[in-house]
Structure 1
Amino acid sequence: MKKNIIFIINPISGGKSKVNFPDMAAKFLDAAKFNATYVFTEGRGHAYELALEKVNRDSDVLVAVGGDGTINEVASGIGESGKLMGIIPYGSGNGLARSLGISLDDRLAVLALNKLNINRIDSGTFNDRNFFNMAGIGFDAHISTIFANHITRGLAGYVKTAIAEISNYQCQNYILEIDGKRIVRDAFMISIANSSQFGNNAHISPFASLRDGLLDVVIIKPFPLYQFPILGYKMFNRSTHTSNFVEIMKGKDIRIIREGSGAIHIDGEPCSMGSELRIKVKPLSLAVLV
């Protein structure tokens, strides 16, 4: 029997037009295997609402056409339903798609759906929010909050914003409990990595795995400003673990207490949470077509 496949399209992700996406996808999608429907989102949170609606009907596959934020909303809508997820990467970083080996060429990504090759991956929860690629607190959450209001997306804009903000940013003190082990650290930022990278092949935790039932806790310690470009270089050549300013631990159940409420990011999308944060892994909880 044919599968009902729903493409949930974020029209503004990555700054790329997707007006012609349905026509293109129809040419490369196997019509003998799929009945396709295409819907466009109308704002933040709409992809989640659409996914939740479609998953409770007769859909078999829900495809996020967008970046990590769109993927987060669609995957969160799929939840524990057992429905399959597809990804057509159209974001500015495409961290999860890159980690899964999904082509950044939209035509090849659509063709890959025809194979129905299923790969189950872990996900995580950050208090009451799901994440699938990366979440964090500290400097990267601060930059995500500022960057969310920028019209121009992409790596260059992100780096420019980071350089403008870094000299005035104050590190914080954090209490962490990782699977019952308690540590105290001053930190520039703390990333919770399900995959190895933020996006654009910037690998914050080079050995993180989407399928090991663990999350990587990456602590960036306070560092002199001249080390900033060196840390950036290490991300792009997958060697952050060799820095004296980086500490990486793995865990399933993580608790973080910080000095007060503030910004966090969930798959690159900023929001605010309180001083106590509880992070847990959900092993092999999402079935993705790759």
Structure 2
Amino acid sequence: MPTDAPSGATTPVPASDAGAQAGAGGRRAALIINPIKATTADVEGAVRRISTEDGWDEPLIIETTQDDPGHGQAREALDAGVDLVIAAGGDGTVRCVAEELSGSGTMMALVPLGTGNLLARNLDIAVDDPDAAVEAAFRGTERTIDVVHLIVDHAQDAHVFLVMAGIGYDAAIMSDTREDLKDKVGWLAYVDAGIRNLPGKPARTTISIDGGQPFERRLRSVMGGNCGKIMGGLEIFPGARIDDGLMDLMTIAPKGKLGWLAVVGKLFARGKGKDPSLEYFQCRTAEVTLREPLDVQLDGDPLGKATHMSFEVRPDSLRLRMPLGFKDPAVVSDPLP
């Protein structure tokens, strides 16, 4: 597995310093919030309160809609010249906002209000305390992270993901998860969908890593990961870092009736061992081609079916706020003391 030196995380900026500078510069935050995400916390009230406490201007508050889950709202915030954009919602809201902010130089933060909250779990952002997440958005540590651009079926425009994207079994789980069950049991609804989608046939798949010689596999799933943790604390991309300029590619190929046991065993062994049911590659670009269309997902959002995916890592593309404190070196290259 090729290794590279870290691409250069930015020097952490304690938000106490950033907050002290905010009043002098007349800084302003924008809150982009998904209004259908139920929460007992007053996220808007917390953003207004901390803006006042830290000397920031009155925040810009924008709600997402069913027709626009975050793209237009993020562009509106950029056009308003805000200094910080806070995405409050599920993984879909976070991804849409990040897609617009990537490469802009404008700081992003998130308040997780969804079921998966994958990026928040990787960055130690409180998934059950929106008030703490809002405080971290203003007063946390600044990092610059990678994003991954994904082109599906040779489309003209690329999508962006921050955590992981895949084609096959993982995407079928996202497409088949029952919304009513998510409301009742949260992320355990994904387990239900996973069990129901275990039966299936492998698909003939051609993969090219960093423009190299293509190789073939018969696979149930191919996933690209920018960081490694999912619900329940399981790390499916061991050692993946969000700021190392690399993407981790995982292939899943269970053999026979007990093949999934080998996959699970290798996952819990953090990818160690020679069992071909689970393979890992590190790369900057990757191309995946299938003989038949399968489901695609980006950061947990179903994207329909496709036969081709082209991945490209864009290093240091997004300025992001995360809580102060130690970070697992499997998440960021330069953890804080």
How far is the alpha carbon of 1:28 from its aligned partner? 4.5
When residues 44 and 17 of structure 1 are mapped into structure 2, their CA distance, relative to the original with a 3 A threshold, is farther
In 1, Cα distance between the equivalents of 2:256 and 2:52?
A: 54
In 2, Cα distance between the equivalents of 1:32 and 1:39?
A: 21
The percentage of aligned residue pairs carrying the same residue is 25
Contact conserved, 1:68 with 1:133, CA < 8 A, in 2? no
Matches within 5 A, 1:28-67: 28-29=50-51, 31-35=53-57, 36-43=59-66, 45-67=68-90
How far is the alpha carbon of 1:230 from its aligned partner? 6.5
- Paired AA for residue 32 in structure 1: D
SS in 2 for 1:59: coil
1:180 correspondence with 2:211: yes
SS in 1 for 2:235: coil
When residues 225 and 111 of structure 1 are mapped into structure 2, their CA distance, relative to the original with a 3 A threshold, is farther
SS in 1 for 2:114: coil
Farther-moved stretch of structure 1 (190-199 vs 268-277): 268-277
How far is the alpha carbon of 1:49 from its aligned partner? 1.2
SS in 2 for 1:26: helix
Contact conserved, 2:30 with 2:62, CA < 8 A, in 1? yes
**1:135 equivalent in structure 2:** 165
1:192 alignment partner, one of 215, 224, 238: 224
**1:117 equivalent in structure 2:** 141
How far is the alpha carbon of 1:227 from its aligned partner? 4.9
Contact conserved, 1:63 with 1:86, CA < 8 A, in 2? yes
1:170 correspondence with 2:192: no
When residues 18 and 3 of structure 1 are mapped into structure 2, their CA distance, relative to the original with a 3 A threshold, is farther
Please report the TM-score for the alignment, with normalisation by the length of structure 1: 0.89
2:270 alignment partner, one of 239, 244, 247: 239
In 1, Cα distance between the equivalents of 2:111 and 2:284?
A: 29
- Structure 2: gaps of 5 or more residues: 1-24, 152-157, 323-337
In 1, Cα distance between the equivalents of 2:56 and 2:65?
A: 25
SS in 1 for 2:53: coil
SS in 1 for 2:317: strand
How far is the alpha carbon of 1:276 from its aligned partner? 2.4
**1:22 equivalent in structure 2:** 44
Contact conserved, 1:138 with 1:190, CA < 8 A, in 2? yes
* Higher Rg of the two aligned structures: 2
- Larger relative strand fraction: 1
2:122 alignment partner, one of 99, 104, 124: 99
In 1, Cα distance between the equivalents of 2:27 and 2:196?
A: 49
In 2, Cα distance between the equivalents of 1:77 and 1:193?
A: 20
Contact conserved, 1:231 with 1:243, CA < 8 A, in 2? no
Contact conserved, 1:177 with 1:256, CA < 8 A, in 2? yes
How far is the alpha carbon of 1:214 from its aligned partner? 0.6
When residues 119 and 33 of structure 1 are mapped into structure 2, their CA distance, relative to the original with a 3 A threshold, is farther
- Structure 1: gaps of 5 or more residues: none
**1:2 equivalent in structure 2:** 26
Contact conserved, 2:46 with 2:134, CA < 8 A, in 1? no
1:150 alignment partner, one of 179, 192, 199: 179
When residues 40 and 18 of structure 1 are mapped into structure 2, their CA distance, relative to the original with a 3 A threshold, is farther
Deviations along 1:236-282, whole A, 9 cap, x unmatched? x5724447221000011111111133321011111135422211000
In 1, Cα distance between the equivalents of 2:121 and 2:300?
A: 15
SS in 1 for 2:139: coil
How far is the alpha carbon of 1:225 from its aligned partner? 4.2
In 2, Cα distance between the equivalents of 1:270 and 1:19?
A: 28
Contact conserved, 1:94 with 1:200, CA < 8 A, in 2? no
Contact conserved, 2:140 with 2:321, CA < 8 A, in 1? yes
**2:92 equivalent in structure 1:** 69
In 2, Cα distance between the equivalents of 1:93 and 1:266?
A: 12
When residues 17 and 116 of structure 1 are mapped into structure 2, their CA distance, relative to the original with a 3 A threshold, is closer
When residues 70 and 199 of structure 1 are mapped into structure 2, their CA distance, relative to the original with a 3 A threshold, is farther
When residues 243 and 82 of structure 1 are mapped into structure 2, their CA distance, relative to the original with a 3 A threshold, is same
